[in-house]
Amino acid sequence: NYHHQYSITACHPVKRAWSVNWSVDVKDNESRLPTPEPPGVQQGILPGLTGHGNLGGGHGGVGAAHGSIGGGHDEEDGDDGHHHRTAKKYLGSMLSTIYCVFLVCMGSTFCATESVIEKHHEHGETNHSVKIFSILVSLIGIGWLLALHIDILWYKQSASRQVRSRTRASQGNLYMHSTASVFKQQAKRNLQPQLWFLEGRHSGSFYLKGGMVVFCFCHLINEGLQLEQYIQKVCTEGAYANNVLGVVFHVLRPIYAFYQLFMAFKYSNIVINHSMHIARFGAMHLIATSLYFWFYSIVEEYKHAEYASSESPSHGHLLSHHSNDSVVVSVVTVISDAIHSNKTLSNFTTGPSYRPTPHPLSHHDAYAAYSGHDSQHDVGGADHHGEHHAGSNITGFLQPFTVEYNIILAGVWFIVWQNIGRGPEVQVRRESICATGQDARYQSNLVVSADCHASNKGLFAGLFLLLVSVVALVIAQEAQRSNEGSPQVVMVQERFRRAELMIFLVQDNILVIVALLAVCWAYWQIRTLDFSVHPITLLDDVLLYVPLPFFFLYFFMSMIADIYSQRLSRISSNVVTVVQVVLQTLFLSDGLRRCSNQRRHQFLKPGRELVTFLIICNITMWVTTTFKTDTQHESESAEVIFGKSCWILVKHATLPLMLFYRFHSSVCLSDIWKSAYETGE
């Protein structure tokens, strides 16, 4: 063979010389890796083949030059194909990203335009662009999810037949119901399988999936209430275009949300390696719809809150700009109005407008008590605005869940989009392939296991804090109910109002201070742990840092209002909250990158008790913040300074992100609780 190669290259001296020069230039410029030596050179069998491309090396030099010729052409063709595939991959990623931004901007523009038209052109023609756009993107999203689901089931059936042919008959039926096992076996035998699942820490958090289920169910309840309103409109007003589109949209949106929940819960760790351009656009469509519905929910909640505030007198006239006497001035103002209006006083004390109810009155009804609105006069208004009052109380609690659910969905689909085209891990490819007669081991895609060592003290301390906070929250809600429904003198209402405010203030300060101390102590203890070489932190970092501007905006505006109103206790509470959020974010970013490669750390688990406590502490702050969203007196000074409409917009834009930060912090802490005390992947 050696002489045959020499004779061929000798017949083409020009080609040989060009190839040698080209090979030398490539090595000098270091634009690509050197060509591997032929097997004969590596083993020392052919002494003349030095592999240096030397023209004066006799037969060996010519043979070496010829070896560089053949390898150069093969590698050039391979590199061209690789560059072409890489260019197509980046082009598809960029185009799908642009498509996502385009959808979000278009939907946001439609929402803002409809809101402006409804506000300034009340008697004009109704704009249907938002509902039509929402229906279209929901249908496209359902279609792509359905196509993905069918593709997964088809690939599972195809792979199951191949796996069953290599397993014993008694074990073959197990693979009929084990998608993860089938996909894993295919990944062992194929370097680039069409579909496969990520494993370990890469596969996602079960805690996050559990929270996603809770948020989705609350979102579905909210959608059911809105669907009931539109069905009532169709029955009373007729099948107008706006009502029919509302019914269609609020039927499709729950279906779309629940289907996304199913696919994200079951297949969030899937990797797609075929039809990758279509898959990238489909995943980006799901991300775009999640972000769009996030913005849509904020706009809708703002419109409902603004309408509710326009129906009731503002709290602002009860506040003095010198809040040292704010309580006294508010009481004197209301009593003075009552003295000068016999009708108001009679309605407030013994009038027919008061009706004892087992549930808290809305703010509209509370202010109607002293504004002289008789219940008989409100019948027409109740019929006219019945759709708002029917679910306004519960909608205020459910709306943040819708925003949080869409944020989680956007993060999950971003991970799916990021993993498209990813090959199996090295350890998966190097695993030995099971023999034909080997028993098949059932493996589910969802496996939950936990080592609870060094967690008991933090667990029970956190549960005690949660219990005390829930009791305080119930007492505050009872004080608020007594405040709103009491027919007694205003001074009694003011006493309940101050008690409610004091309970909320003390509760918030205790929770934030305890969490701040726990974060500092835990940060000090985990500093001895090792750093993971391949941490999974991109999505967690994004979801941790995105809510920070909303935290800063809300608390800085609150601090400005409190400084203007000279409410020193609220100022200190806001400052401590901002400090705690910043330090906790730094702690989470550091903890997500930690691991325990030493047996001593794996046994002692330093800081795990505090991490367990912080998980429950963040859940507690999430619960207390969620169930006091309708507390109006906490934002009275901000409404006076910034205006009611401005503060309503700020509150409804920032509060869901602040709630999501507390929940996602508990998700990251649960990841630290598990992964920081294991060997790094």
Give tens-digit pLDDT for 135-185. Answer: 999 999 999 999 999 998 888 887 777 766 766 655 545 545 556 666 666
Mark whether 427 and 471 lie in a shared domain. Answer: no
DSSP labels, 604-651 = H-TTHHHHHHHHHHHHHHHHHHHTTTT--GGGHHHHHHH-HHHHHHHH
Name residue 634's beta-bridge partners.
none
Contact 356, 485 (CB under 8 A): yes
Same structural domain for residues 280 and 143?
yes
Residue 100 domain flag: no
The predicted structure's pLDDT at residue 306 = 74
* 330 and 209 within one domain: no
Q: For position 76, what pLDDT does the model report? A: 59
Cα(544)–Cα(582) distance, rounded to whole angstroms? 10
Domain presence at residue 41: yes
- Residue 610 in any domain: the answer is yes
Co-location of 410 and 379 in the same domain? no
328 burial via Cβ count (<10 Å: 0-12, 13-18, 19+): exposed
How far apart CA 208 and CA 523 sit, in angstroms, is 23
User: Structural domain of residue 50, as residue ranges?
Assistant: 2-87
Query: Two tokens at 48?
Result: 């003349």
Confidence at residue 493, expressed as pLDDT on a 0 to 100 scale = 57
| 408 and 269 together in one domain | yes
Task: Confirm if 148 and 392 have CB atoms less than 8 A apart.
Answer: no
Give the total number of structural domains in the chain.
4
For residues 602 and 483, membership in a common domain is answered with: yes
Reported as a pLDDT band with limits 50, 70 and 90, residue 424 is low
pLDDT of amino acid 102: 96
pLDDT at 616: 94
> If you average pLDDT over residues 207-222, what whole number do you get?
91
Q: Are residues 308 and 349 in the same domain?
A: no
**Does 603 reside within a domain?**
yes
Q: For residues 33-50, give the mean pLDDT.
A: 42
143 within a domain of the structure (yes/no): yes
Flag whether pLDDT at 114 surpasses 90: no
- 463 vs 311: which has the higher pLDDT: 463
pLDDT of residue 171: 55
Do residues 138 and 252 make contact, with C-beta atoms less than 8 angstroms apart?
yes
Contacts of 482 (CB under 8 A, 6+ apart): 496
User: Each residue of 591-608: pLDDT tens digit?
Assistant: 999 888 888 888 888 889
Same domain, 527 and 656: yes
- For residues 423 and 460, membership in a common domain is answered with no
Boundary-marking domain end, from 55, 87, 119:
87
233 in a structural domain: yes
Task: State the chain's mean pLDDT as an integer.
Answer: 72
pLDDT value of residue 611: 94
Listed in sequence order, the DSSP H helices in 372-435 are 378-384, 386-418, 426-429
User: CA-CA distance, 357 to 366, in Å (whole number)?
Assistant: 12
How far is 309 from 646, CA to CA, in rounded Å?
12
pLDDT at 198: 76
Quick one: 361 and 415 in the same domain? no
Cα 403 from chain centroid (whole Å):
9
Position 187 scores a pLDDT of 60
Q: How far apart (Å, rounded) are the C-alpha atoms in residues 38 and 42?
A: 6
At 578, list the tokens. Answer: 């901002």
Residue count of the chain, please give it: 681
Q: Is residue 9 predicted with pLDDT exceeding 80? A: no
Contacts of 603 (CB under 8 A, 6+ apart): none
User: Is 474 inside a domain boundary?
Assistant: yes
Question: How confident is the model over 535-582, as pLDDT tens digits?
Answer: 776 788 888 999 999 999 999 998 898 888 887 778 888 899 999 999
| Residue 439 domain-assigned (yes or no) | no
Evaluate whether 644 touches 520 at the Cβ level (below 8 Å). no
**Same domain assignment for residues 360 and 401:** no
Parallel, antiparallel, or unpaired for β 594-595 and 270-272? unpaired
138 shares a domain with 78:
no
